[in-house]
Every structure is written in C-alpha cells, then in structure tokens.
C-alpha cells in the first residue's frame, strides 16, 4: 500500500513515520505527477495559507479535488482539514471544497491557548486518544451523511468522516498513538465503508 503525503509545507515527516510504523509505504507529493499510483493521500498540518498558495501555483488543487470526488481516500489533519473543507470563515482562503463542512480557523485563539486533552473516539476503542490542538480550527457546521467521530464539547466537532474523506482538527501525528492512522489505512483497504 502506497500513501502520499502532501509535502508543500508543514508536519510531513511525522506522518511518514506513522505510516512506515504501520507497514505502509509513504511518499512525498510536491507535484501533480507524484499523485499517480497512490492508494491514499494525507494532507498534513502546517499553515493553510502557505499550503493553499503552493497547491494552486503547482496545479495540485484540481487533481486532488478530482480524486476526492472519485472517492479516493484522503486524510487531512488541522490545516489539511481546512484545505478539504467547503467553507472557511476566513474569506482570503480558497480551500478545495470537497468536504461539506464549515470550519473556523484559529478557533481557540493564539498559540498561548494551544492545548492537549484526552479525547473519547469510540471508533478507535475505549482507550482515550491524546488530542494535541495547535492554533487549531473547529468544525462549526456538519451536514447529514457525516460520521462525527469526536467532539470536544457539544457542537464542537473535532473529527469527522464522509465516505473516504477523513479529517481532524488535532494532530495524531504528534503522538505515539497509531490508531488514527491505522483507521485511515483501514479506509484505504476498503474495510470500513
């Protein structure tokens, strides 16, 4: 199994390490041709404005959008989630618009308000998952047809799935816990529908 990690900017190496630990092959994606022959794609955390700009400059936005519409498995964390979203409460940003959610950037404030917390994510089992939120966004609007995988409080959705598109506002790649990535790989394998 070969998973691409969009490597324009941000926490790329962390995702590659997680994928390798799970026995998947991971490869960096900076240009459209590198999207060929992949089984899934991860869009990492980083600065969403930076990644958006580079994605459009190097013609990656359209092919990724096309893949998403065809049901290709994509996992976005933090900035990666913002890029997948349909609506961002910050008009300067042009996301891919494939995940029918509305997100608010820097929803908890500046870096001083960044935090860690134990999360309940039932699909990953009983054991709590350490959520690392760094200048994190939240998902403010979700339509039907979505699996809400995790909430911080009522109406504060922090992890969702729509078909094979998976997104969370925190950083599983900054933990040692492989369960979230393992869940994504099970989506890629078609074991979860």
Partner 1 sequence: MIEKGTWKVKAGLAQMLKGGVIMDVVTPEQAKIAEEAGACAVMALERVPADIRATGGVARMADPAIILAIMEAVTIPVMAKCRIGHFVEAQVLEALRVDFIDESEVLTPADESHHVWKHDFKVPFVCGCRDLGEALRRIAEGAAMIRTKGEAGTGNIVEAVRHMRAVQDGIRKLQALPVDELAAEAKALGAPLELVIEVHKTGKLPVVNFAAGGIATPADAALMMQLGADGVFVGSGIFKSANPEVRAKAIVKATTHYRDPAIIAEVSKALGAPMPGLDIKTIPPQELLAPRGW
Which of residues 82 and 98 has its CB atom nearest to partner 1 in the complex? 82
At 110, list the tokens: 């500046």
> Should residue 140 be labelled a site residue for partner 1 when binding is judged by CB under 8 A?
no
141-180 residues near partner 1, rule: CB under 8 A: 171, 174
**18 φ/ψ angles, rounded to the nearest 5 degrees:** -60, -45
For partner 1, the closer CB: 86 or 130 = 130
- Interface with partner 1, residue 119, by CB under 8 A: no
Size of the chain, expressed as the number of residues it contains: 193
Tokens representing residue 179 in the block = 């369960």
Non-local CB neighbours of 133 within 8 Å, separated by 6+ positions:
108, 114, 115, 116, 117, 158, 169, 170, 171
Do residues 95 and 81 make contact, with C-beta atoms less than 8 angstroms apart? no
Is 133 a binder of partner 1 (CB under 8 A)?
Answer: yes
Site for partner 1 in 39-68 (CB under 8 A): 45-47, 49-50, 53-54, 57
**Interacting residues toward partner 1 by CB under 8 A:** 7-14, 30, 45-47, 49-50, 53-54, 57, 78-79, 90, 92, 105-106, 109-118, 132-135, 171, 174
């Amino acid at each position: 199994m070969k998973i691409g990690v969009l490597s324009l900017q941000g926490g790329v190496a962390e995702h590659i390490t997680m994928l390798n630990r799970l026995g998947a092959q991971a490869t960096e994606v900076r240009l459209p041709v590198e999207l060929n022959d992949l089984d899934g794609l991860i869009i990492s955390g980083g600065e969403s404005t930076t990644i958006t700009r580079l994605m459009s400059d190097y013609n990656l936005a359209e092919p990724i959008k096309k893949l998403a519409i065809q049901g290709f498995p994509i996992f976005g964390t933090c900035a990666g989630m913002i890029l997948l979203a349909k609506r961002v409460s910050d008009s300067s940003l042009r996301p891919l618009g494939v995940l029918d959610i509305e997100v608010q950037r820097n929803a908890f404030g500046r870096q001083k308000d960044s935090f860690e917390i134990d999360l309940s994510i039932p699909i990953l089992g009983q054991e709590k998952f350490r959520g690392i939120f760094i200048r994190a966004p939240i998902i403010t609007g979700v339509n039907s047809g979505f699996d809400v995988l995790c909430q911080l409080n009522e109406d504060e959705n922090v992890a969702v799935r729509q078909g094979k598109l998976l997104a969370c506002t925190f950083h599983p790649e900054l933990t040692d816990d492989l369960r979230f990535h393992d869940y994504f790989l099970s989506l890629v394998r078609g074991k979860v529908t």
